[in-house]
């Protein structure tokens, strides 16, 4: 895209991790880049897709293995654990408390802000197939593509992050 006669900067992020702290970092960076008027893409693959799952159970047709994956994986941004100091689920609650104390946005709020700023949120279709995730189970506003689409964005970006 062009802005005042010059090309907009592009930033891409691959969110591979399903850890709360890493997802928060990815969305803080994405929102910061979008605020600086970058075209931003977040490509969600493997465990990172759990960040974009809807909180509620969505009735979809699945085989037993896909159902098992769905049952074992966290359902959405509010259910992610920490990469360190998870402490049987107490760690994420402690982080959320500290964030609230410092008036930091929650992960669901960061996701909403990214959507409002036009951050392109792309779910990896190959990973969805492998994990048995259906489009109906992910948040509205997602795009669906394979690695070739991500590489198309990444080859034009100056900043490419893998989280």
CB 162 within 8 A of CB 44: no
Helices (H) and strands (E) in the chain, counts: 6, 7
What token pair was written down for 129? Answer: 């197939």
What token pair was written down for 120? Answer: 């392109």
**Distances, alpha carbon 159 to alpha carbons 2, 24, 84, 156, in Å:** 18, 18, 26, 9
**According to the model, what pLDDT value does residue 107 have?**
96
**According to the model, what pLDDT value does residue 7 have?**
80
pLDDT of residue 71 exceeding 80? no
Strand segments, DSSP code E, in the chain are: 2-3, 6-7, 10-15, 39-44, 120-124, 143-145, 159-162
pLDDT of residue 67 exceeding 60? yes
What's the sign of the alpha-carbon dihedral 42, 126, 72, 17?
Answer: negative
Per-residue pLDDT reduced to its tens digit, 3-62: 555 688 999 999 999 999 999 999 999 999 999 999 999 999 999 999 999 998 888 887
CA dist., res. 12 & res. 10, Å (int): 7
pTM here is 0.89
Count of positions (residues) in the chain: 163
Per-residue pLDDT reduced to its tens digit, 96-149: 888 889 999 999 999 999 999 999 999 999 999 999 999 999 999 999 999 999
Average pLDDT on 75-92 reads 86
């Amino acid at each position: 895209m062009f802005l005042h006669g010059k090309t907009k900067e592009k930033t891409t992020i691959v969110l591979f991790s399903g850890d709360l702290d890493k997802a928060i970092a990815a969305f803080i960076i994405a929102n910061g880049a979008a605020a600086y008027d970058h075209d931003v893409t977040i490509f969600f693959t493997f465990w990172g897709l759990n960040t974009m799952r809807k909180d509620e159970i969505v009735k979809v047709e699945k085989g037993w293995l896909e159902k098992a994956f769905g049952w074992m994986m966290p359902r959405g941004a509010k259910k992610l654990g920490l990469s360190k100091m998870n402490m049987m689920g107490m760690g994420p609650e402690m982080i959320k408390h500290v964030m609230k104390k410092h008036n930091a946005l929650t992960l669901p709020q960061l996701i909403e802000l990214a959507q409002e700023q036009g951050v392109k949120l792309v779910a990896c279709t190959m990973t969805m197939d492998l994990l048995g995730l259906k489009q109906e189970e992910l948040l509205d506003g997602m795009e669906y593509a394979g690695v070739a689409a991500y590489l198309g964005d990444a080859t034009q970006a100056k900043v490419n992050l893998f989280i």
